[in-house]
Amino acid sequence: MSSGKVEDGSDDELQLSSVALEALNSFLVEKDERHKRFADLKATLEKEYEERQKVITMEDFEEDWQQSQFWYDPTTAEMLAEEILDGATEKTLVGIISAPSVFVKIQELKAAGRIANSIKVRLLEFDKRFDLFAEFTHYDFQYPLRLPSELKGKFDRILIDPPFLSNDCQTKTALTARWLMKPWVAPTVPASTSHDNCGGNTAEQSPTRIMICTGQVMRELVEKLFRHAGVRATTLEIRHSKGLSNEFLCYSSFESKRIRWEQ
């Protein structure tokens, strides 16, 4: 009977040629490689996402008292961050000078979604440990104008904590602030505006915003150096994480619900 030949012929028809088999194997290998590349990419992206979610805090930076480093406590750092950024937009450039605890708090607030990432904030700081932030610029008050030329006259707001309670340090940091900022304009408060309700209007009327946190002993000099910007001592309480024997004041060019000039 011829049935055997027919069956043999069917088997031959089902067999793949060596060329087709090689092509199939190549396709399967490429498919496996694509799946592996995708799995690796996904794992990398997930790791990067996890890394981005990690928030650096001031607990990661030990204070160096020889550099006159005294970090604000978290409540004070957050309060100062909120005040210097209140009303800021993506067009506002903010400078934090020698106050890394405020800058780091701002990064925490951004990570938590409480401050828009589009707000531009630069840290000018002597301690190079903070260069892990892309916004870091090395700053030494002994050379007040040794800074990138593109920063001159670009800042709308400045918060400063001069590292030393000396006339030299205070004067040089004030020179830095003047060089960095847009023209200083003192806030104007309408005569009919009472002290009780002036808090939200003053900041809007002033195109610049300046805050200085330093010792009470420097009050006369600070108010003299920043007189044209309308800076005055305030009643805002400044606290440090490990305490500080020197009486500290916050000097400001504006008032708000929390910031009031001393009378």
Q: What is the pLDDT of residue 205?
A: 46
Answer whether 167's CB lies under 8 Å from 224's CB.
Answer: no
Q: What is the pLDDT of residue 6?
A: 46
CA separation for the pair 105, 56 (Å, rounded)? 9
Cα dihedral 101, 106, 107, 113, rounded to 10, equals 150
The string of pLDDT tens digits covering residues 152-192 is 999 999 999 999 999 999 999 999 999 999 988 766 654 44
Residue numbers of the chain with a pLDDT score lower than 50: 1-7, 9-10, 190-205
List the CATH code of the domain at 59-252. 3.40.50.150
For residue 102, the tally of other CB atoms under 10 A from its CB is 28
Residues across the chain: 263
Beta bridge partners of 251: 212, 233
CA separation for the pair 58, 5 (Å, rounded)? 85
Q: Give the pair of three-digit tokens for residue 45.
A: 């992206």
CA separation for the pair 83, 246 (Å, rounded)? 23
Q: What is the pLDDT of residue 18?
A: 78
Answer whether 207's CB lies under 8 Å from 187's CB.
Answer: no
- Residue in the block written with tokens 């490990």: 242
Q: Give the pair of three-digit tokens for residue 18.
A: 């060596």
Q: What is the pLDDT of residue 4?
A: 47
Q: What is the pLDDT of residue 197?
A: 39
CA separation for the pair 81, 9 (Å, rounded)? 84
CA separation for the pair 36, 32 (Å, rounded)? 6
Answer whether 169's CB lies under 8 Å from 162's CB.
Answer: yes
CA triple 49-87-124, angle to 5 deg: 65
Beta bridge partners of 234: 261
Q: What is the pLDDT of residue 213?
A: 97
The type of residue at 48 is: E
Answer whether 231's CB lies under 8 Å from 251's CB.
Answer: yes
